């Protein structure tokens, strides 16, 4: 018996339902007098159960590939692509899909980066190009990275949400929560030593706090992305620092020196040379 896509989807949903209830795997039951018409229903149930078990095994294999970045023989770039494929090219999981976004903005950079920047969400330029931080704020972020003695290609850059909110408004809570599992998986693959949260929205969502930027900046947080483990099956640990979003620095250049202090703190932790003099406005 061949199952169509709708039936397979229904079976997968039913399996998930059973698992949430604590019901164990389905097993095929031996059919008696299978040739008799009265046994047709038993045969059908048996075939569905067997197909459901095969689907469950396939789903478990997919989950292992998606959630275990240390899996032997699977490189980090491939694992990031698995996450991107899981999101899909036309994600419809939240309302941002219907509010004018053009495409998913997944993330970019070195899959082995020690430093990861996480911003708020894509703007118009990012939505058009499908890459994070490519507009004016992105140019400033590039300069900030260069001032640290690094290249953009040596870090990893992502956002709290992967679709542009209309009018560049702040992402709403349900939108952030919908995207969060995929971002956590990205962090789990990259395994950065330090995450820099760019702006209040990124900081508040990552740290699950509602403090002011003045309270959040100037120190490291011990950060463990929910549901992500390391090679020893222990919660993944890294440091998280908070600084101003480049878009804010464009509006208020006076705060560039404060942002530079935040980046110097990160540089010291990563054992990067830390010049004491702040970069000029052209390079900061």
Model confidence pLDDT, tens digit, residues 118-170: 999 999 999 999 999 999 999 999 999 999 999 999 999 999 999 999 999 99
Residue 275: its pLDDT value, please? Answer: 77
Give yes or no for a contact between 198 and 118, defined as CB atoms under 8 angstroms apart. yes
At 96, phi and psi to the nearest 5?
A: -60, -25
- 75 SS3 class: coil
Which two tokens mark 194?
A: 């330090």
Specify the pLDDT at position 74.
77
Sign of CA pseudo-dihedral 88, 187, 78, 234: negative
Quote the tokens at residue 208: 């699950």
Q: Is 33 left (phi over 0), alpha (psi -120 to 50) or beta?
A: left
Alpha-carbon distance 273 to 222, whole Å?
23
CA 105 to mean position of chain CA atoms: 11
CA distance 215 to 192: 24
Q: Extract the residue ranges of the chain whose pLDDT is less than 70.
A: 1-73, 276-284
Radius of gyration over alpha carbons of the chain, in Å? Answer: 23
Res 62: pLDDT:
45
Token code pair at residue 50 = 């067997």
Helix (H) or strand (E) holding 59: helix 40-67
Q: Do residues 284 and 250 touch, judged by C-beta distance below 8 A?
A: no
Q: What is the pLDDT of residue 118?
A: 98
For the chain, give the longest Cα–Cα distance: 88
pTM for the model:
0.75
Residue 258 and residue 260: Cα distance in Å, rounded? 5
**Structure tokens belonging to residue 231:** 């090679």
- Confidence (pLDDT) at 153: 98
Residue 55 CA, distance from chain mean position:
25
Cα 110 to Cα 78: distance, rounded to the nearest angstrom: 12
Distance CA 95, CA 174 (A): 9
Distance CA 233, CA 122 (A): 33
How far apart, in whole angstroms, are the C-alpha atoms of residue 130 and residue 108? 10
Domains of the chain: 5-67 (no CATH), 76-283 (3.40.470.10)
- Check: CB of residue 184 under 8 Å from CB of residue 195: no
Compute the Cα dihedral for 40, 46, 49, 51 and give only its sign.
Answer: negative
């Amino acid at each position: 018996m061949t199952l169509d896509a709708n039936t397979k989807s229904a079976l997968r949903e039913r399996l998930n339902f059973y698992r949430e209830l604590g019901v164990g795997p389905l097993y095929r039951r031996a059919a008696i007098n299978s040739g008799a018409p009265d046994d047709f229903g038993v045969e059908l149930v048996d075939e569905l159960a067997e197909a459901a078990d095969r689907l469950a095994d396939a789903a478990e294999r997919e989950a292992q590939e998606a959630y275990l970045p240390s899996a032997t023989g699977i490189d980090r770039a491939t694992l990031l692509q698995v996450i991107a494929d899981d999101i899909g090219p036309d994600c419809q999981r939240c309302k941002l899909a219907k509010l004018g976004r053009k495409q998913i903005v997944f993330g970019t950079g070195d899959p082995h980066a020690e430093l990861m920047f996480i911003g708020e969400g894509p703007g118009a330029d990012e939505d058009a190009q499908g890459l994070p931080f490519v507009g004016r704020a992105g140019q400033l972020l590039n300069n900030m990275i260069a001032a640290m003695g690094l290249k953009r290609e040596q870090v990893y850059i992502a956002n709290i949400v992967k679709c542009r909110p209309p009018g560049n408004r702040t992402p709403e809570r349900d939108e952030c929560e919908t995207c969060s599992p995929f971002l956590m998986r990205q962090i789990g693959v990259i395994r950065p030593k330090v995450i820099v949260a760019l702006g209040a929205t990124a900081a508040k969502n990552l740290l699950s706090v509602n403090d002011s930027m003045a309270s959040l900046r100037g120190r490291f947080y011990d950060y463990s992305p929910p549901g992500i483990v390391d090679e020893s099956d222990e919660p993944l640990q890294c440091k998280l620092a908070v600084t101003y979003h480049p878009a804010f620095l464009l509006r208020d250049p006076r705060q560039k020196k404060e942002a530079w202090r935040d980046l110097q703190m990160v540089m010291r932790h990563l054992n990067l040379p830390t010049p004491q003099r702040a970069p000029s406005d052209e390079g900061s």
